[in-house]
Structure 1
């Protein structure tokens, strides 16, 4: 019997708008660089918002990787829990239908609200249509991925370099 918590690493954002897609880009980088234990799932949540709820409720731990507006310099990395989750850009934009906190409340109503943390980064540009990350964010993506890997380990998951 496996007692390891089921962990979902969810990259969110719109990759068409420069740094707004940084969460998705981080999950892509993690997927291409590492293999993970069976209790860890990486998922590109894009701009699905509430449509992610059916997926989220299957997990014990939710690690969201996203652009976050906290007002610091571009490339600043944050670890958010509790009410600070509302700073997660991908879930409080009308394009994503609802915010992360509302999605988690609905998860709780249907029976499972996973323990949630957002690993976020301050974007430089999230309004210009561009498939590439800004240089300020791109140079910090490895650091953000390292923090996600640490969060996975602390939550009971394992990773192995490919």
Structure 2
């Protein structure tokens, strides 16, 4: 019997773990970094799919429609202290994603959830693990220390949820094949941080003559 086969004879639930956000804007990469860390450290049953949703918006609709259980990681403005985690579930998820949008990707994903509801293909369980960002106006930047610490806590809690859902998480015993990684090799967290240029060599906020600062 494979890990994805339930003992009661019912089909295994389709579990999707989705990280959304933009790796290039510091703390907005929280969601994708969570999925990346889970995949690097753990293996899961065959009924589990890990996805770097990036900023794809409506293109993620098929992944939501196909999931029985959906776990979402994202940077969410809860108006709390930086690095604070807050989890919301089921019908509360679209509301929290729409309260104060950090970027256009949240508008798109809020619409994805509502569209999936309208089509009648919506997960039985939806859980949003959101983290209050500290700083995002750092193009090419990485997670701030408070958010990086929150990532570790989010991973711990996610493993408990995934275990309860039947994802059978277990520590990885072999190296992750490069072609299976959810993030491109040159964007992997450690390499991304070690190879990023200095502020003197690269403008982190864009050309002020063209880009307006976000308040």
TM-score (normalizing by structure 1): 0.89
Given candidates 53, 60, 67, the residue that maps to 2:61 is: 53
Query: 2:159 is matched with which residue?
Result: 149
Q: CA–CA distance in 1 between the matches of 2:86 and 2:103?
A: 23
Q: How does 1:76-87 map to 2 (within 5 A)?
A: 76-81=84-89, 82-87=91-96
Judge conservation of contact 2:14–2:48 (CA < 8 Å) in 1: yes
Offset of 1:88 from its aligned partner?
Answer: 3.4
1:42 counterpart residue number: 50
| Paired positions, count | 161
Unaligned runs of 5+ in 1: none
What SS does the aligned partner of 2:154 have? Answer: helix
Q: Which has the larger radius of gyration?
A: 2
In structure 1, distance between residues paired with 2:147 and 2:117: 33
* C-alpha displacement of 1:152: 1.0
1 or 2, which has the higher strand percentage? 1
SS of residue in 2 equivalent to 1:16: coil
Shift of 1:48: 0.5
Distance 1:86 1:129 in 2: 28
Displacement of 1:99: 4.2
1:17 and 2:15 matched = no
State whether residues 11 and 46 of structure 1, in contact with CA within 8 Å, keep that contact through their aligned partners in structure 2. Answer: yes
Match of 1:161 in 2: 171
1:110 aligns with one of 94, 119, 123:
119
Counterparts of 1:78 and 1:138, CA distance in 2: 15
**By how many angstroms is 1:85 displaced?**
3.7
**Structure 2 unaligned regions, length at least 5:** 1-8, 173-215
**Match of residue 26 from structure 1:** 34
1:137 aligns with 2:119: no
* Separation in structure 1 between the aligned mates of residue 102 and residue 83 of structure 2, nearest angstrom: 20
In 2, the alpha carbon distance for the partners of 1:16 and 1:77 equals 21
Structure having greater relative contact order (Cα 8 Å, sep ≥ 6): 1
* Runs (4+) off by over 6 Å: none
> Displacement of 1:84 after TM fit?
4.7
